[in-house]
Chain A
Amino acid sequence: MNDQSRLLTNVKAYLFLAPFLLVYGLFMVYPIAKGFIISLHDWSLGMESTFVGFANYSSMFRDSYFWEALWNTLLFVVISTPALIFVGLAIALLVNAGLKGTTFLRSAFFLPFILSISVIASVWVFILQPYTGLLNSFLHTIGFTEEIFWLSDAKLAWVSILLATVWWTVGFNMVLFLAGLQEIPEEFYEAAEMDGASSWKKFMFITLPSLKGVMLLTVVLQTINSFKLFGQPYLMTGGGPGTETRALVQYIYEKGFIEQQMGVASSMSYVLFAITITFAFIQFKFFQGKD
């Protein structure tokens, strides 16, 4: 009887899980496995494929454009992740301070996040483009005559991409931090108040430690998102000037769908996958170690 009812429970559980498992298997597990198989082949859609072992990987490692794109992506991750965490936390603290007009501020900061990347890119191109862009026109009216090429100079292009990314996605981090902040019991601050702690100390010894869980989540999500960089440079600079702002995902896309080298594209995807997983793993370890 007992065994039987347990069996029944299990069967029921799996039946309820089945729709999810089916979709998950079909659209996550299967493509991941298939991607690895493709990466071992000379593969293009609609053509015969031949098994080539690890040849795609070795040709990828010899490709200087691969290294450039990987470097570009890493650079973006290293700069954008802290920037987005820091700004997100700062905005959350501001919004949480209970000033007037907070509801408006909160929506204003979150609004860009609901827009699609094409809208975001159009807005920023409109602002940053030379000769007629909003920013340069403004600079001209206040007497600055030199033309600044925000999107055509490699260094400035990166600054522009970073700026656009922060404006676009920081709202999401803000919401996460805000949720974390609101979970901190008021009593902690009251007790600290009685002990005469300064605001800085309250932030360092109450707020930050209490946010640890949220912080881990945000850092990991942000890192993964930054690795997936594609739309901003693709639409704002086209990866240019030359290939100076081309991220790895864009290169994967070009290899796979323009050059029709699915094998090489898959092997690059696997490298990106491995690096992202490693980073996420390290971050989990790092945060857990502090417990």
Chain B
Amino acid sequence: MKKVSAFTLAVFLLSTFLVACGGDSDSGGGEEDNGKTNLTFWTPLSGGDGDFMKELVSEFNSENAEIEVELLNLKAEEYYTKMRTSVTSDQAPDVAIAHTSKLSELESANLIVSIEDAADSAGVEWDTFSENIVDATIIKDEHYAVPLDTHALIMYANNKILAEADLLDESGQPVIEDGEEGFIQFLEKIKENSPSGTFPLSATSTGDSPLRMWWTFYSQLGGELLNEEGSQAAFNNEQGLEALSFLGKMVEDDLWPKNIANGGELFTAQKAAIHINGVWMTGALENNEGLEFSAIPIPQVFDEQAMWGDSHLFVVPRQNEQSDEKKEASIVFANWIADHSSSWAQAGHVPSKPSVIESEEFQELPYRSDYAEIGEDVSYMPNTPKLTAINDVLKKHFNQYMTGDVSPEDTLSNAEEEVNNLLK
């Protein structure tokens, strides 16, 4: 009797386990009884961005009678890996957020599909978008994304510190003379006229920040990252060196003190006069009472106005059996969000459609309209499948350069060699 019961127990345990493993595979989405087209939508948004998007999606759902969008927000760090695995296992969402800087990588890995036809049938008019922003999302003459915004590097200034150094004009905007000299003198003047311990410029010295600043000034000098075929590095040149040395000079003169771990924190604590960061800082900074600041485009230091930037885009991930109906619905949704993105701008981003920028709702937002013009000047990094890896190489070398251990010449030639190896 005992044996039998033990045996039964064992079988029972095993079978429960197997049943549990088998799982329930019928729980996927698809058209449900409510007669609407159901879309799954993935985003990698954190903090405020995520909340604004959630609001927009529920607004869309309540306004639109035919499409129902289900939002899933994933961790940014693992987002693109998840996207890859979801496409590989044919469980990709119907529509997803991606970045311009990742678009080429997604396209070359067959993870997303062209939206050329779907955009036509959904009635998207590409000329309602800022041309500069849309152009960066075209690969091999085909549209692969509906852009939502641009988020570029801009300059934040502490108005109190600048007022004490007599560097504000009547409208409360920083007064900066033209050119390299002008910018350096501006920082020098801050240094002379502010209490000791004040950072004239506080940008983070590690991570993405040095690369983005270098790209800003290198683009102002008209530089290109790669040759025309995208097969070789093209940044180890006079302009690349000039842009990098410009960063180095600010560090050397102690205008941008060495090894800053968190530039935003210093600026928030009112210890820094100038802070260079992405537009997303606006939302965070305006929550600090007592911090009087202005947000303006990075000044044109060299030949032409340009700054580093990226965009949030809507893309359509690849699925094995993709109905045109769902694709079209995805684009209708994307276009609707882009049309209603003035609330998205609360996060600091600049909307992709000039009509949204001109809208009253956007113009009423503080700070944003002071830098909304950057949409025209943003310099995107080129569309190449290896961009993430190339950026990692550049970041590594520029971060080391910022510690002052390597010469700018060596930095560029080492980075060039590694980038060329990557492109082989």
Complex Cα distance, B405 from A106, in Å, reads: 44
In the complex, chain B residues whose CB is within 8 Å of the CB of A131: 199, 257, 260-261, 266, 271
Complex Cα distance, B389 from A260, in Å, reads: 9
Q: Name which of A193-201, A235-243, A274-282 contacts chain B.
A: A235-243
Q: Are B110 and A241 in contact (CB under 8 A)?
A: no
* Residues 148 to 174 of chain A near chain B (Cβ within 8 Å): 149, 151-153
* Residues 27 to 77 of chain A near chain B (Cβ within 8 Å): 44-47
* Residues 159 to 173 of chain B near chain A (Cβ within 8 Å): none
Q: Are A15 and B14 in contact (CB under 8 A)?
A: yes
In the complex, chain B residues whose CB is within 8 Å of the CB of A129: 261-262
The 0/1 profile, CB within 8 Å of B marked 1, for residues 107-136 of chain A is: 000000000000000000100011111000
Q: Name which of A177-185, A219-227, A251-259 contacts chain B.
A: A251-259
22 examples of A-B residue contacts, CB within 8 angstroms: A11-B7, A12-B3, A15-B10, A15-B11, A15-B13, A22-B17, A45-B81, A45-B109, A46-B84, A46-B85, A130-B259, A131-B257, A131-B266, A133-B261, A147-B259, A149-B258, A149-B259, A152-B205, A238-B206, A241-B403, A242-B396, A242-B397
Q: Is B70 positioned at the interface, with any CB of A under 8 Å from its CB?
A: no
Minimum Cβ distance to chain A for residue B106 (Å) = 10
Q: Is A18 positioned at the interface, with any CB of B under 8 Å from its CB?
A: yes
Q: Are B265 and A132 in contact (CB under 8 A)?
A: yes
In the complex, chain A residues whose CB is within 8 Å of the CB of B14: 15, 18-19
Say which residue of A8, A151, A258 sits within 8 Å of B389 (CB atoms). A258
Query: Quick one: closest A residue to B111, CB to CB?
Result: A46
Query: Quick one: closest B residue to A20, CB to CB?
Result: B17
In the complex, chain B residues whose CB is within 8 Å of the CB of A18: 14, 17
Q: Given A12-B6, A149-B258, A152-B206, does the pair A241, B400 have CB atoms closer than 8 Å?
A: yes
Complex Cα distance, B406 from A153, in Å, reads: 13
Query: Quick one: closest B residue to A243, CB to CB?
Result: B396
Q: Is A104 positioned at the interface, with any CB of B under 8 Å from its CB?
A: no
Q: Given A47-B110, A131-B257, does the pair A12, B10 have CB atoms closer than 8 Å?
A: yes
Minimum Cβ distance to chain B for residue A22 (Å) = 8
Complex Cα distance, B261 from A149, in Å, reads: 10
In the complex, chain B residues whose CB is within 8 Å of the CB of A11: 7
Q: Are A45 and B396 in contact (CB under 8 A)?
A: no
In the complex, chain A residues whose CB is within 8 Å of the CB of B110: 46-47
Minimum Cβ distance to chain B for residue A152 (Å) = 4
Complex Cα distance, B378 from A109, in Å, reads: 52
Complex Cα distance, B111 from A151, in Å, reads: 38
Minimum Cβ distance to chain A for residue B252 (Å) = 15
Query: Quick one: closest A residue to B422, CB to CB?
Result: A259
Complex Cα distance, B127 from A130, in Å, reads: 48
Q: Are B13 and A19 in contact (CB under 8 A)?
A: yes
Complex Cα distance, B259 from A46, in Å, reads: 39
Q: Are B388 and A241 in contact (CB under 8 A)?
A: no
Minimum Cβ distance to chain A for residue B316 (Å) = 16
Complex Cα distance, B207 from A238, in Å, reads: 8
Say which residue of B17, B85, B109, B206 sits within 8 Å of A240 (CB atoms). B206
Complex Cα distance, B279 from A249, in Å, reads: 33
Q: Is B88 positioned at the interface, with any CB of A under 8 Å from its CB?
A: yes
Q: Are B399 and A44 in contact (CB under 8 A)?
A: no
Q: Is B269 positioned at the interface, with any CB of A under 8 Å from its CB?
A: yes
Complex Cα distance, B242 from A266, in Å, reads: 40
Say which residue of A47, A238, A239, A258 sits within 8 Å of B109 (CB atoms). A47
Complex Cα distance, B13 from A248, in Å, reads: 41
Minimum Cβ distance to chain A for residue B295 (Å) = 23
Q: Are B13 and A16 in contact (CB under 8 A)?
A: yes
Q: Are B206 and A45 in contact (CB under 8 A)?
A: no
* Residues 6 to 41 of chain B near chain A (Cβ within 8 Å): 6-7, 10-11, 13-14, 17, 21
Q: Is B87 positioned at the interface, with any CB of A under 8 Å from its CB?
A: yes
Q: Are A242 and B109 in contact (CB under 8 A)?
A: no
Q: Is B59 positioned at the interface, with any CB of A under 8 Å from its CB?
A: no
Say which residue of A8, A16, A45 sits within 8 Å of B85 (CB atoms). A45
Query: Quick one: closest A residue to B392, CB to CB?
Result: A258
Q: Given A254-B392, A258-B388, does the pair A46, B109 have CB atoms closer than 8 Å?
A: yes
Minimum Cβ distance to chain A for residue B164 (Å) = 21
In the complex, chain A residues whose CB is within 8 Å of the CB of B258: 130, 147, 149, 152
- Give 4 new A-B contacts, CB below 8 A, not counting A45-B84, A242-B397: A242-B396, A242-B406, A259-B386, A259-B389
Complex Cα distance, B267 from A132, in Å, reads: 12
Q: Given A238-B207, A242-B396, does the pair A8, B7 have CB atoms closer than 8 Å?
A: yes
Q: Given A46-B84, A241-B400, A257-B81, does the pair A130, B10 have CB atoms closer than 8 Å?
A: no
In the complex, chain B residues whose CB is within 8 Å of the CB of A15: 7, 10-11, 13-14
Complex Cα distance, B357 from A288, in Å, reads: 75
Q: Are A132 and B266 in contact (CB under 8 A)?
A: yes
Minimum Cβ distance to chain B for residue A275 (Å) = 25
In the complex, chain A residues whose CB is within 8 Å of the CB of B87: 46
Query: Quick one: closest A residue to B261, CB to CB?
Result: A129
Q: Are B399 and A242 in contact (CB under 8 A)?
A: yes
Complex Cα distance, B422 from A259, in Å, reads: 9
Q: Are B262 and A240 in contact (CB under 8 A)?
A: no
